[in-house]
Amino acid sequence: MVGATSCFECCPDATKVSRFRFSLPPSVMRSLFINPVVHVRQAHRTRRAAIAAIAAFGAILAGVFLMSAVHDAALSAVLGTVALACLGAVIGPFTGGNEAEWIRYLETLVRTERDRLLAILNTMGEGVAIIGPDYKIRFMNPSMLREFGDGVGSYCYKHLHGFDEPCDEMCRLREVIIGSTERSEYHFPDGRIYEVVSSPFADSDQVSCMLATFRNITHQKLVELELVKLNQLKSELLSNVSHELRSPLTSIKGIISSLLQEDIGWDNESRKMLLIGMSEETDRLASLVTNLLNMSKLDAGVWGPERDRCSVPEIVTETLERQKWVSKDHIFETEFAPDLPEVFADSNQIKQVLINLLENAVAYSEEGTKIVVEAKRINNEVEVTVSDQGVGIPPGELEKIFDKFYRGTQKRRRPGGTGLGLAIGRAIVLTHGGRIWAESEIGRGSTFHFTLPAI
Ligand code: ADP
């Protein structure tokens, strides 16, 4: 019989799997092994009973026949005994619970179940390892071998974690061996994260071991982290946007209240100053709302470019006309290469990229400094650059500034900003098949470049 710990020896060609036997939990044991065995036993018993009944019937018939045919009582008894012995010899092998057949049957049963378990272990996406009380790895299924390499026979703390000795804070082997089931999360130095469930397990040699399943949850964890980050960004954005909306509104409200005060006799110059201030605050509001709307349209994929043949100098000039008026304290200059080809682009979207770059140039550089917009042909592209003489961008931030909601450490000269301007610019340029990047020197200024495919 298979014994209390039913075990299997694995097939010879199955790498490490073949070295160990398995003891199954009682419920599995019952359904996989004991139930079929009990049923088969019943079947054998039924068969034996039937054969014995037939034999008894035959013996009685033979007895009746002999007693009626042979009148000598002694001879009749001898013949009856001989007949019964012959009958017994013939049916004996069928009733006697053929042990060899029985053992063969059990072996087949065990082998089938073992093959089934092996197939399950081999195809499991999760890694399975059996670790002995001496911390040595006794078994690894193929998935475990794939993820961690062959470590059968080595110490688990060495092979899995690269430690020289067991780490009591991390390792649950002692608790598990005495019967507890533990769930832990292992973060490996290469960035992989595993959820490990360890349960007690009696190996085929009856040694109490730990059966651990390793589930790679790195991707899941990264998604969770991203979601947490996104939620943080959302709440930051919400508080940022509320602040950004409130401050121009407060200024506008203040200016209107001042203008409405009848007891103050505003002269024309002061009234004009106040109205200009109001107009600037309104522009700030409009730019913020535009950026928010554009970002959500880009996110929803409903702001595809409506391309046409466009002239870059025209787009730049029109944008600057507006910008010069908004920031009259900077010196704006343009420089266009003479051989500039046209581009196939959505002029409104490209204007939005320029507005965002120019607003930043104004916000991060002192009044009276130069802001230069250039356009030149480079191979099959038109490259547009916006340079300022402002505070500059630390090298570590040059990549990040194009991320949604990222706001750098440099102080804006003007209040405002949501960290969306460059992200929108990048999204627009990329949908046009171009590239965008920045160069900067702290204290000397920044240059933003973007390209558009030339016609
Ligand atoms: P914001 O609304 O904060 O300006 P942007 O997406 O337009 O958001 O810019 C992201 C960050 O890039 C800014 O917070 C700032 O740190 C940096 N930045 C952008 N343009 C300039 C510039 N011309 N000079 C210095 N820093 C800049």
Q: Note the pLDDT tens digit of each residue in 175-222.
A: 999 999 999 999 988 899 999 999 999 988 889 999 999 999 999 999
Lowest mean pLDDT among 50-64, 301-315, 383-397: 50-64
Lowest mean pLDDT among 68-82, 163-177, 401-415, 430-444: 68-82
| 128-148: pLDDT as tens digits | 999 999 999 999 999 999 999
Same domain, 147 and 236: no
Q: Tell me which residue has its CA closest to atom 14 in ligand 1.
A: 407
Ligand 1 contact, 421 CB (< 6 A)? yes
Ligand 1 contact, 408 CB (< 6 A)? yes
Same domain, 210 and 236: no
Domain assignment present for residue 242? The answer is yes
Domain assignment present for residue 113? The answer is no
Q: Which residues partner with 28 through β-bridges?
A: none
Ligand 1 contact, 361 CB (< 6 A)? yes
DSSP labels for 117-176? HHHHHHH-SSEEEEE-TTSBEEEE-HHHHHHH---TTSBHHHHHH--SS--TTT--HHHH
Same domain, 312 and 282: no
Question: What pLDDT was estimated at residue 395?
Answer: 95
Domain assignment present for residue 433? The answer is yes
Burial of 189 (0-12, 13-18, 19+ CB in 10 A): exposed
Residue in 352, 230, 345 with CA at minimum distance from that of residue 287 = 352
Q: Would the pLDDT of 91 be above 70?
A: no
Among 248, 281, 300, where does a domain finish? 300
Cross-sheet strand order for the sheet of 137-140: 137-140, 127-131, 208-216, 193-202, 182-187
Q: How far is the CA of 222 from the centre of ligand 1 (A)?
A: 27
Same domain, 447 and 316: yes
**Measured in Å, how far apart are the chain's first and last C-alpha atoms?**
83
Q: How far is the CA of 247 from the centre of ligand 1 (A)?
A: 19
Question: What pLDDT was estimated at residue 126?
Answer: 94
Domain assignment present for residue 78? The answer is yes
Q: What is the mean pLDDT of residues 416-435?
A: 90
Closest-lying ligand 1 atom to the alpha carbon of residue 422: 6
Same domain, 140 and 35: no
Residue in 258, 255, 260, 250 with CA at minimum distance from that of residue 275 = 255
Domain assignment present for residue 339? The answer is yes
Domain assignment present for residue 187? The answer is yes
What mean pLDDT value characterizes the chain? 84
Question: What pLDDT was estimated at residue 19?
Answer: 36
Lowest mean pLDDT among 71-85, 159-173, 305-319, 412-426: 71-85
Same domain, 321 and 440: yes
Q: What is the mean pLDDT of residues 371-395?
A: 96
Q: Would the pLDDT of 4 be above 60?
A: no
Question: What pLDDT was estimated at residue 341?
Answer: 96
- Percent with pLDDT over 90 in the chain: 50
Cα separation, 40 vs 112, whole angstroms: 15
| 237-259: pLDDT as tens digits | 777 778 778 888 998 999 999 99
Cα separation, 446 vs 393, whole angstroms: 7
Question: What pLDDT was estimated at residue 66?
Answer: 65
Closest-lying ligand 1 atom to the alpha carbon of residue 388: 23
Among 161, 186, 216, where does a domain finish? 216
Q: Would the pLDDT of 42 be above 80?
A: no
3-state secondary structure string, 311-333?
Answer: CHHHHHHHHHHHHHHHCCCCEEE
Helix 268-300 and helix 421-431, axial crossing angle in degrees, nearest 10: 50
Q: What is the mean pLDDT of residues 418-428?
A: 90
Same domain, 338 and 233: no
The CATH number given to whatever domain includes residue 187 is 3.30.450.20
The CATH number given to whatever domain includes residue 379 is 3.30.565.10
Number of residues assigned to the chain = 455
Q: How far is the CA of 238 from the centre of ligand 1 (A)?
A: 19
- Percent with pLDDT over 70 in the chain: 83
Question: What pLDDT was estimated at residue 131?
Answer: 95
| 153-164: pLDDT as tens digits | 999 999 998 999
Q: What is the mean pLDDT of residues 76-103?
A: 70
Ligand 1 contact, 389 CB (< 6 A)? no
Question: What pLDDT was estimated at residue 139?
Answer: 94
Domain assignment present for residue 108? The answer is no
Q: What is the mean pLDDT of residues 283-306?
A: 84
Q: Which two tokens stand for residue 429?
A: 């340029």
Same domain, 29 and 9: yes
What single letter denotes the amino acid at residue 281? E
Q: Would the pLDDT of 80 be above 50?
A: yes
Cα separation, 311 vs 340, whole angstroms: 8
Number of structural domains the chain divides into: 4
Domain assignment present for residue 116? The answer is no
Question: What pLDDT was estimated at residue 280?
Answer: 81
The CATH number given to whatever domain includes residue 243 is 1.10.287.130
Burial of 256 (0-12, 13-18, 19+ CB in 10 A): exposed
Among 269, 300, 331, where does a domain finish? 300
Same domain, 411 and 389: yes
Which range of residues forms the domain containing residue 13?
Answer: 2-97
Ligand 1 contact, 424 CB (< 6 A)? no
Cα separation, 200 vs 130, whole angstroms: 10
Same domain, 291 and 313: no
Same domain, 436 and 348: yes
> Confidence band (pLDDT; 50, 70, 90) for 383?
very high
Same domain, 27 and 76: yes
Q: How far is the CA of 122 from the centre of ligand 1 (A)?
A: 54
